[in-house]
Structure 1
Amino acid sequence: MKRKLDTLKESLDKAFGNKLKSMSESLGQLTIIVDAEDLITLATQLREDQTLGFEQLIDLCGVDYSRYGNSGYDGLRFAAVSHLLSIRNNWRLRVRVFAPNDDMPVLPSLINIWNSVNWYEREAFDLYGIIFEGHPDLRRILTDYGFIGHPFRKDFPLSGYVEMQYDTEKKRVIYQPITIESREITPRVIRDECYGGFKH
């Protein structure tokens, strides 16, 4: 008996052919990679074609591949990964699309195909700096309006750039440069005999 994933693979091959950059199977789910310029056309067909029937987008996340794996990664840096669900056909699909420009990652918004993507795209914009062209309200959703940078990027410093505190004189929240001093966090494995002021 043919597996559902094999049926889905055949349907995807028939629908898109060489428009798919790649297709792979992992953990019982298929992942396809498509070009940014083909995303809207493919996404529309994924929803409208009854043999595919992906009526729901259940998640979208940003990814920064700049330090992917243990070896040097040689490819485009930013991607958006959408997770689609077909209730009619009882299968799922992962769609990965890479932003063609690492310095200014821009991808088309999926909001006119699946409106559930609204806050997911805002989150990917906020945390990774991926701009979704055509999104009607692309603004930060998790960090503060004055936040500098995108905290899920691999090159974002662990301590951030600024810190926030309440100023009692100004009666408002203010931002100032980070004041955390570098410190050694190496555990002390071999202790001196009188470490800490008492004999062990």
Structure 2
Amino acid sequence: MREQLDAVLGGKLKRVEQDLGELTITVSAADYLEVAVTLRDHPELRFEQLIDLCGLDYSSYADGRYEGPRYCVSTHLLSITKNWRLRLKVYAPDDDLPVVPSVNEVWNAANWFEREAFDLFGIVFDGHLDLRRLLTDYGFIGHPFRKDFPVTGHVEMRYDAEQKRVIYQPVTIEPREITPRVIREENYGGLHH
């Protein structure tokens, strides 16, 4: 499959990696939509199905040693014709407003996956016709899968018996530091040196 990808996509491939028998190609945001159409339609490739699409936040990847764009979209494709699987990655060029083209017109299975990545990571899919929150409330502020989003969130909701409705209020949980337990016993777990 790698030879066909190189022959068909050539200069549009920024990176090609093979780990654990899986092939991952990375393309620029400017080439993403064109590459997606080529992957689907070219007779040497024929990736007819989008299996999954997800957002990624690399802001604290590899203990801060990672340098590059913060937000990535990873798309998992399947060629039934060729019996091939492929991961297609694209990085949003702007960390402050992450935007990549929508592939919903290429594979309509991308619809809710792109909405989920928008909702949870704040990645905007240019050209998506119905890009709105999918898992959080419409009034929700922020994107909870971003690594800088607080684990406790900003607000909590509860039912108020006096008002007979659900209300939102500031978080009442106090942050705490969890220190891992360190076991220093010589023969712990039956290990003898």
The TM-score, its normalising length taken from structure 2, stands at 0.89
2:14 counterpart of 1:21: yes
2:137 counterpart of 1:144: yes
2:80 counterpart of 1:87: yes
**RMSD (Å), alpha carbons:** 1.6
Cα 1:184–1:52 change in 2 (3 A) is closer
2:91 counterpart of 1:109: no
Q: Bigger radius of gyration, 1 or 2?
A: 1
1:149 CA drift (Å): 1.0
Task: Name structure 2 gaps, 5 residues minimum.
Answer: 183-193
1:101 CA drift (Å): 0.4
Cα 1:181–1:110 change in 2 (3 A) is same
Separation in 2, partners of 1:61, 1:187? 31
Q: How many residues align?
A: 182
Matches within 5 A, 1:1-200: 8-183=1-176, 185-186=178-179
- Deviation digits for residues 41-98 of structure 1, max 9, x if unmatched? 1100100001100000000000000111134221100000000000000000000000
Separation in 2, partners of 1:188, 1:89? 50
Q: What does residue 4 of structure 1 align with? A: none
Task: Name structure 1 gaps, 5 residues minimum.
Answer: 1-7, 190-200
Separation in 2, partners of 1:38, 1:184? 44
1:188 CA drift (Å): 8.8
The TM-score, its normalising length taken from structure 1, stands at 0.86
**Matched residue SS, 1:115:** coil
- Deviation digits for residues 80-125 of structure 1, max 9, x if unmatched? 0000000000000000000010000011000100000011001101
